[in-house]
Amino acid sequence: MVKKVIFFLAFLVAVPVYLRSQIKSNPKREFRGVWVATVANIDWPSKPGLSSDIQKAELIRIFDDHQKSGINAIMLQIRPATDAFYGRGRELWSRFLTGTQGRAPVPNYDPLDFAIEEAHKRGMELHAWFNPYRATNNLIDAHTAANHISKQKPEWFFTYGGKKLFNPGLPEVRQYIVSVIMDVVRNYDIDGVHFDDYFYPYPEAQPLRDSETYYKYGRAFKNIDDWRRNNVDTLIHTLSDSIHLAKKHIKFGVSPFGIWRNKTQDPEGSESNGFDGYGKLYANARKWVQSGWLDYINPQIYFPFGYKVAPYDKLLDWWSNNTFGKHLYVGQGVYRALENRPGWSDRSQIPKQIRYLRNNKNAQGSVFFSSKSVTNNMAGVKDSLRRDFYRYPALQPAMAWLDDVKPNAPTVLTAKSVAKGVELSWQAPTVASDGDKAFGYVIYRVNRGERMDIEQSHHILKISFKASETTFTDTLVNANRSYTYVVTALDRLKNESQASNAVTAGPSF
Residue 5: which pLDDT band, with cuts at 50, 70 and 90?
A: very low
Q: What interhelical angle do 171-187 and 224-246 show, nearest 10? A: 20
pLDDT band at 24 (very low <50, low <70, confident <90, very high): low
> Which tens digit of pLDDT belongs to each residue from 494-508?
999 999 999 999 865
- How confident is the model over 399-408, as a mean pLDDT? 98
pLDDT of residue 21 exceeding 70, the answer is: no
Average pLDDT of the residues in 4-26: 45
462/373 same-domain check: no
pLDDT at 16 over 80: no
Please check whether residues 373 and 459 belong to one and the same domain. Answer: no
What DSSP string runs through 219-238? TTSSSHHHHHHHHHHHHHHH
User: In this predicted structure, what is the pLDDT of residue 479?
Assistant: 87
Split at pLDDT 50, 70, 90, the class of 341 is: confident
How far, in Å, CA of 307 to CA of 311, rounded?
Answer: 5
Query: 406 in a domain, yes or no?
Result: no
Range of the domain at 75: 30-389
- What average pLDDT does the segment 341-363 reach? 95
Same domain, 364 and 439: no
Residue 15 lies in a domain: no
- Please give the mean pLDDT across all residues of the chain: 94
Task: Determine, yes or no, domain membership for 280.
Answer: yes
- Show Cβ contacts of residue 186 under 8 Å, excluding neighbours closer than 6 positions: 246, 247
Asked whether residue 5 is assigned to any structural domain, the reply reads no
Among 342, 357, 389, where does a domain finish?
Answer: 389
Residue 257 three-state SS: strand
pLDDT at 467 over 80: yes
Q: What is the mean pLDDT of residues 452-459?
A: 97
Please report the pLDDT score of residue 277 as a whole number: 98
CA distance 285 to 238: 15
Return d(Cα 266, Cα 259) in angstroms, integer.
12
* 145 and 68 part of one domain: yes
What pLDDT is stored for residue 509 in this prediction?
A: 56
Q: Is residue 14 part of a domain?
A: no
* 462 and 319 both lie in a single domain: no
Q: Write the DSSP symbol of residue 379.
A: G
Instruction: Give me the CATH number covering residue 232.
Output: 3.20.20.80
Give Cα 133 to chain centroid, integer Å: 20
Whether the full predicted model's pTM is greater than 0.85, yes or no, is: yes
